[in-house]
Chains A and B, each alone.
Chain A
Amino acid sequence: MISSFYIAWRYLAFNKVRSATLVACITLIAFLPMALQLLLDESQQLLQSRATSTPLLLGARGSALDLVMNSLYFDEQVPDVFTMQAAEDIMQSDLAYAIPLYVRFHARNSVIVGTTLDYFDFRGLQIAQGRMFAVLGEAVIGADVAEDYGLHPGDAIVSSPETLFDLAGVYPLKMAITGVLQRNHTSDDLAVFVDLKTAWVIEGLGHGHKDLTSTDDASVIMTRTEDSVTANAKLFQYTEVTEDNIDSFHFHGDLSAYPITAVLAVPDDVKSATLLRGRYLENPRYHIVRPKDVIAGLLENIFRIKSVIDSVIAIVGLATVMAIILVFALSVRLRQRELSTIFRLGCSRMTTVNLIVAEITLIVIASSIISAGLLYLVDANADTLVRQLVLR
């Protein structure tokens, strides 16, 4: 049998293209469904663990899935914004404590999460290097952000402008990185965290500039009254918060009217949760969702789609196996002369069958090894792949 394998190996090595094609076909058919299952299992685990650990989520009425995906996994689809007043209402209800989230802006390719320090306690996030943000314009970054961009405490990261040509739009803000979070293998590793007020500064709702009451430059003044001074667009606004200019940063109007995208509501107990949910059942502006239920619905759909994909893969796999059988059957016919030669040299029919079986076995072994290697890679990087491919 060993000689059969040697001869089969020589045959396969000589017919490289044919052998490689067969190996590639079998590898794909074996690898695809298993890799898909691996990634789905990992997705399910990632989605469910995060969703299960988040009791309630308040958002503007609209897509519950968008709200959950944006608030828990920092998906780019931004739900409708609502005011900070909603978070204060929850706090005042004494049924839960509220963690506001404003997930809208980006720095490089990472999402900027505007929130409060409660978020870090709630998620159990620890600082690995440096310290937590303390003042306006400071940021802490997730482990993957630090690794991907080679950032450390003391470096800076600049928010991305929303639109390049909108002069009235969001200007970049250079933020000082004060800390790097410990890796916790969730979406938090991929985010840049700032205080809510910093997020509002990025949006332009808060800003810092020279004191208009004492400026000598008349060209920046549009109107001046006894009570107020209005500047024109020539007024230079700071794009970085520093020790020197931090006092000049200010917000106009009532902060409770400032925008957020979600509120993480952490009820005191089950009863409080039920009461809180009841209060928002008929609310025309807000809805409160249990992320666990939303993700369960999503997973149900994913697995329904997966079963369809499985069926397609099974059909394609069957077709491939039949094609491979056909290839071997035709190959036996094409190799009649060779088979006749080895028969004349003294090869029995059983040995001829052994040779063909050895060829098939080698191809299957090669495919299995490659599939196993690929699956090992997928398994080792499942967490990253899922976050890059599924939870983007």
Chain B
Amino acid sequence: MIQIESLEFNYPQGEFRLSIPRMTVEHGEKVAVIGPSGSGKTTLLNLIAGISRPRQGSITVANQRISDYRDARRRNFRITEIGFVFQDFELLDYLNVIDNILHPYRITRALKLTRRVQHRAVELAEGLGIGNKLKRYSSELSQGEKQRAAICRALLPRPRLILADEATGNLDPRNKGRILDLLFDNVASSEATLLAVTHDHELLPRFDRVVDFLDYRNDAA
């Protein structure tokens, strides 16, 4: 599903540099990425999602060499093929839960907002336990509910790859387990691939594979 070759990345300003000679994730795998803070885990997810672009090397996702794509094509690929659960949920405070879940459909032409999609959004939300919170604003939700809404938004377009950045980082132990269960169930049912950054070593046994980030990058900084 993911092939990374000779990846080099650095921000225009700053000394941080990410270098990954080779990394592969198979289709359907549930892979946890661990590593110390500041080691570039989130940067890696952003590169795979096409939000950032590598300076050198290649990133191939679902047989598409997205590192060579121009901005618009990379964006469209991300919207349709990748679901991203952000570290701090990234819910918009002026939209209620259902509007947040449907937001990607309203800001891009790559996704078509149909009645079927709206129906599925409600079903997904109910499945994730926030069916009764659809009209609430994010400020009225608990951390767990926010995370569920963010997961729901990421899963709605039925992505082939799900990237989760500290998806359980803000949750209590009980909610962590629940959220991970929901994520795994949905990944399994949609036959997607999961690449999740986590600091929580208790959760690692539940993944198919754990990638220690220090094995993959040469931090020259």
Report A's interface with B, CB cutoff 8 A: 3-4, 6-7, 10-11, 13-15, 338, 341-348, 351, 355
Contact A341:B104 (CB < 8 A) given known A3-B113, A346-B110, A348-B72: no
A6 to chain B, nearest CB (A): 6
Q: How far is the CB of A341 from chain B (nearest CB, A)?
A: 4
Q: Is B107 close to A, CB under 8 A? A: yes
B75 within 8 A of A: yes
Q: Which residue of B lies closest to A9 (CB)?
A: B94
Whether the Cβ atoms of A7 and B90 lie closer than 8 Å is no
Question: Is B90 a contact of A351 with CB atoms below 8 Å?
Answer: no
Question: Does B62 have its Cβ within 8 Å of any Cβ on chain A?
Answer: no
Query: With A3-B113, A341-B90 in contact, is A347–B95 under 8 Å at CB?
Result: no
Contact A344 B106 (CB under 8 A): no
Write out the residue numbers on chain A whose beta carbons fall within 8 Å of the beta carbon of B145.
Answer: none
CB-defined contacts of B72 to chain A, threshold 8 Å? 348
Q: Tell me which residues across on chain B come within 8 A of A10, comparing CB atoms.
A: 94-95, 99
- What is the CB-to-nearest-CB distance from B120 to chain A, in angstroms, rounded to a whole number? 18
Complex contact A11–B94 (CB within 8 A): yes
Smallest CB-CB separation from B110: which chain A residue? A346
A-B pairs, top 3 by smallest CB distance, nearest first, are A14-B94, A3-B106, A346-B79
> B76 contacts which chain A residues (CB < 8 A)?
346
Residue of A nearest to B86 (CB): A344
CA distance A317 to B86 in the complex (A): 44
CB within 8 Å of A: which residues of B? 49, 51, 72, 75-76, 78-79, 84, 86, 90, 92-95, 99, 103-108, 110, 113, 137, 153
CA A355 – CA B93 in complex, angstroms? 16
Q: How far is the CA of A4 from the CA of B106 in the complex (A)?
A: 7
Distance between B216 CB and nearest chain A CB, rounded to angstroms: 23
In the complex, which residues of chain A have a beta carbon less than 8 angstroms from the beta carbon of B51? 343-344
Is the beta-carbon distance between A345 and B113 smaller than 8 angstroms?
Answer: no
Contact A342–B103 (Cβ < 8 Å): yes
Bound form: Cα–Cα A165–B92 in Å? 71
Give every chain B residue within 8 A of A348 (Cβ-Cβ).
Answer: 72, 75, 108
Q: Report chain A residues within 8 Å CB of B103.
A: 7, 342, 345
Contact A14 B107, beta carbon cutoff 8 Å: no
Which B residues lie within 8 Å of A346 (CB)? 75-76, 78-79, 104, 107-108, 110
Task: Give CA–CA (A351, B106) in the complex, Å.
Answer: 10
Given contacts A10-B95, A342-B103, contact A347 B108 (CB under 8 A): yes
Q: Are B93 and A342 in contact (CB under 8 A)?
A: no
Q: Which residues of chain A are near B137, meaning CB under 8 Å?
A: 14
Contacts of A341 in B (CB 8 A): 86, 90, 92
A322 CB to nearest B CB, Å: 26
Quick check: A7 and B93 within 8 Å, CB to CB?
no
| A344-B93 contact given A3-B107, A6-B106, A351-B108, CB 8 Å threshold | no
User: How far is A345 from B94 in the complex, measured between Cα atoms in Å?
Assistant: 16
Determine if B107 and A345 form an interchain contact, defined as CB atoms under 8 angstroms apart. yes
Q: Residue A14 contacts which of B93, B104, B105, B106 (CB distance < 8 angstroms)? A: B93
Alpha-carbon separation in the docked complex, A343 to B103 (Å):
12
Write out the residue numbers on chain B whose beta carbons fall within 8 Å of the beta carbon of A347.
107-108
27 contacts between A and B (CB under 8 A): A3-B105, A3-B106, A3-B113, A6-B106, A7-B95, A7-B107, A10-B94, A11-B94, A13-B94, A14-B95, A14-B137, A15-B94, A341-B86, A341-B90, A344-B51, A344-B84, A344-B90, A345-B104, A346-B75, A346-B78, A346-B79, A346-B108, A347-B108, A348-B75, A348-B108, A351-B108, A355-B107
Q: Nearest A residue to B84 by beta-carbon distance? A: A344
A342: nearest residue on chain B (CB-CB)? B107
What residue of chain B has the Cβ atom nearest to residue A347's Cβ?
B107
Return the chain B residue nearest A12 by Cβ.
B94
